[in-house]
Amino acid sequence: MLTIVRQAVADLSKDVHSSKSPLVPTGWSAELVNPKIVQTMLQYSTGLTGTIELAEDQGPRYIFLSGKDYYIWNTTSEEGWRILNVKNRDELYSNVAKGKGGLKLEELPDYGDNLEG
């Protein structure tokens, strides 16, 4: 009986560690408290609609998907960039995990003036 339990635990351990998707990068979260509020803010700030993929832990940056492109937005500086070297969530997580230099970025135009009043 003990052998069966040990084997079951070993099998479960293999399953947990055999996931093909990379983990959420350190310093980021895939879970948001108020995603609709953040999505509205991103749409107002960038002119883009999308789904939020990552939020920086205790930081001002969000990464979101709009159409086929990923974007990063800094709520403090009100600046954003299109991420050029990411085509899917796995690439996003892997490249963000690399830290500085992991993402190739193209600055977004300033939409603020076009969206007011």
Model confidence at 11, pLDDT cuts 50, 70, 90, reads very low
What number of residues does the chain have?
A: 117
DSSP-assigned letter for residue 3:
H
More confident residue, 45 or 105: 105
Structure tokens at 19: 């996931």
pLDDT of residue 42: 87
* pLDDT score of 33: 81
Tell the burial category of 69 from Cβ atoms under 10 Å away from its Cβ (0-12, 13-18, 19+).
middle
Give me the mean pLDDT over the 33-46 stretch.
86
**Which contacts of 100-107 are long-range, i.e. CB under 8 A and separated by 24 or more positions?**
103/72, 105/72, 105/81, 106/81, 106/82, 107/79, 107/80, 107/81
Record the tokens describing residue 100, joined without a space: 């500085």
Q: Are 42 and 36 in contact, with CB atoms under 8 Å apart?
A: no
The whole-model pTM stands at 0.74
